[in-house]
Structure formats: structure tokens, C-alpha cells
């Protein structure tokens, strides 16, 4: 089913603490009340990465970037933007610019960013596997399982230059290769999502906004090193990340 508008509501921890879930619910209710429920899809996404401006709502196809939205703004966003086709200027990040300058790529905060790990955060519903697949999700796993040997995967990692995200930046191929060379009937893949560094939320953002990418990578690792069971070690203070990982696993 094709929709006229897609409304993306940040569902990251920071925005949820500022009532973004209520914004999400209110937008759905307003779509019904104003007769456009069949024309609009409201999606709760992962973190947009611009937490100081949250809660964030982005409306497509105009790519309008609304910031510091409140649940009470839902009615106006639907009546003005969706029904009448007029942006709600007071909520735009750049209130002085024309529509074309309200887009994410024109916001200086994002202009020097090239997202790799967080490429799907803010774009997909992390609780919907189809949206992950629509952005090439699980294609890497399919290739690894049916077209590549463990040695070939190691060589691919060498070429990619993938490194650990900790301070040491340890080469991923080397870590996987060490594990691959160990002769044992039982091996495990352990994903460390504890994130003990103060003020660091990259693991939380990934698990909350793109949990399938974690599962896909762990499964590729399992194929490579000869493991058939994996564990995700995650802190209790990340309940939303745990919730979305559990959904992704199912």
C-alpha cells in the first residue's frame, strides 16, 4: 500500500523520556480523527542522533525536520502539514529558511557525518524486520552463508579494514581469525553491548535503532569461527534496547 506521507517519530531513549511515545500515539489518533489514516503511515524509529533538539519528527516526502515537538503539536502537524500541505514553521529546525533548507542534509550538524553503523537509525522502524530487509538487511548474511567460506569472509574483513570500536581499534579479521583457528566442538559469539565508557551511547543507539544489524553480524561471525550459539551482554539500564533486541530475535 502506497502512502502520501510518512511520519517518522524518534523512539530513542532521549526522545522517549520527553514523551515521544505520546507524540507517536497522538499522531496516529489525529490521522484517524482528520480522515487521513489511509494516506499516512506513522513510524517510530531509532535515534536521529540530534538529541538536544528532541523530540524529533520528520515528515516525508518533504523531508521536513521538526524539533522539540510536544504531544500537543500532533493535531497541528496533521491539520497543517498533512491535510493542507503547509509546513508548521514554528517547529522546523531552521525556521527562517525555505522548505528546501529544512532537509536533514542541509542541517550543519549532519553535514560532516557519514553514517555506517548508524545508517538505519532514524530511518526504519526497529521493530519491523521488513523495513530492515528493505534497506539491504540480511543480504550480507545470505552471501556469507551460501556463497562464501570462512576464509573468504576473513579476507573480506581485511579488505574492508573493519576495526573494533573501542580505543584500541583492534582489526576485526584478526580477532575472528584467532577464534576460527581454535579447535573446539563448542564456541560462542559474545556481543559486548555493556558500554562502560561514561557518556558513550553508540551501542545503545545501535541496539535500539537497528537491532537486526547486530544479529546479522553475530550470525556471520558464527559462520566464520564455527560457533552455533551467541550471547548479547547488555546492561539493565538499557531496557528499550533489550526490548527491541528481543523482538528482533523472535
Q: What pLDDT, in 10s, does the model give residues 74-83? A: 999 999 999 9
* pLDDT tens profile 214-234: 999 999 999 999 999 999 999
Structure letter (DSSP) for residue 228 = -
Provide the pLDDT for residue 22.
96
pLDDT at residue 179 in the model:
95
Overall average pLDDT of the 107-111 stretch: 82
pTM: 0.82
Q: Which grid coordinates belong to 30? A: 489525529
CA distance 7 to 60: 6
Pairing of strands 5-10, 57-60: antiparallel
Separation of CA 138 from chain center: 15
Ranges in the chain annotated CATH 3.40.50.11540: 135-249
**Boundaries of CATH 3.40.30.10 in the chain?**
5-113
* pLDDT tens track for 158-217: 999 999 877 788 999 999 999 999 999 999 999 999 887 776 777 888 999 999 999 999
How would residue 107 be classed by pLDDT, with cut points 50, 70 and 90?
A: confident
Residue 196: the pLDDT is: 74
Sign of CA dihedral 238, 226, 137, 131: negative
- Name which residue leads in pLDDT, 152 or 14: 152
The whole-number average pLDDT for the span 143-159 is 96
Q: What is the CATH topology of the domain spanning 135-249?
A: Rossmann fold (3.40.50)
Q: Would you say residue 100 has pLDDT above 70?
A: no
What pLDDT was estimated at residue 113?
84
Burial status of residue 81 (CB atoms within 10 A of its CB: 0-12, 13-18, 19 or more)? buried
Average pLDDT value for residue range 58-68 = 91
For residues 111-136, give the mean pLDDT.
90
Residues 6+ away with beta carbon under 8 Å from 31: 37, 40, 42, 78, 82
CATH architecture, range 5-113:
3-Layer(aba) Sandwich (3.40)
pLDDT for 55 beyond 90: yes
Amino acid at each position: 500500500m502506497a502512502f502520501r506521507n510518512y511520519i517518522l517519530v524518534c523512539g530513542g531513549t532521549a526522545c522517549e523520556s520527553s514523551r515521544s511515545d505520546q507524540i507517536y500515539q497522538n499522531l496516529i489518533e489525529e490521522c484517524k480523527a482528520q480522515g487521513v489514516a489511509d494516506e499516512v503511515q506513522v513510524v517510530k524509529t531509532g535515534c536521529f542522533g540530534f538529541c538536544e533538539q528532541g523530540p524529533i519528527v520528520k515528515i516525508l516526502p518533504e523531508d521536513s525536520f521538526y524539533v522539540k515537538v510536544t504531544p500537543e503539536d500532533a493535531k497541528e502537524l496533521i491539520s497543517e502539514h498533512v491535510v493542507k500541505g503547509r509546513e508548521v514553521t514554528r517547529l522546523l529546525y531552521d525556521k527562517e529558511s525555505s522548505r528546501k533548507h529544512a532537509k536533514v542534509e542541509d542541517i550543519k550538524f549532519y553535514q560532516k557525518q557519514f553514517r555506517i553503523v548508524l545508517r538505519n537509525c532514524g530511518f526504519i522502524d526497529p521493530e519491523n524486520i521488513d523495513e530492515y530487509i528493505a534497506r539491504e538487511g540480511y543480504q550480507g548474511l545470505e552471501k556469507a552463508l551460501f556463497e562464501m567460506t570462512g576464509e573468504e569472509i576473513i579476507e573480506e574483513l581485511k579488505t574492508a579494514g573493519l576495526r573494533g570500536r573501542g580505543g584500541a581499534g583492534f582489526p576485526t579479521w584478526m580477532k575472528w581469525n584467532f577464534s576460527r583457528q581454535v579447535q573446539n566442538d563448542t564456541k560462542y559469539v559474545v556481543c559486548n553491548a555493556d558500554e562502560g565508557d561514561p557518556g558513550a551511547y553508540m551501542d545503545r543507539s545501535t541496539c535500539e535503532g537497528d537491532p537486526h544489524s547486530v544479529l546479522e553480524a553475530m550470525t556471520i561471525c558464527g559462520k566464520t569461527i564455527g560457533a552455533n550459539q551467541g550471547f548479547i551482554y547488555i546492561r539493565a539500564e538499557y531496557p528499550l534496547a533489550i526490548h527491541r533486541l528481543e523482538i528482533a530475535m523472535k
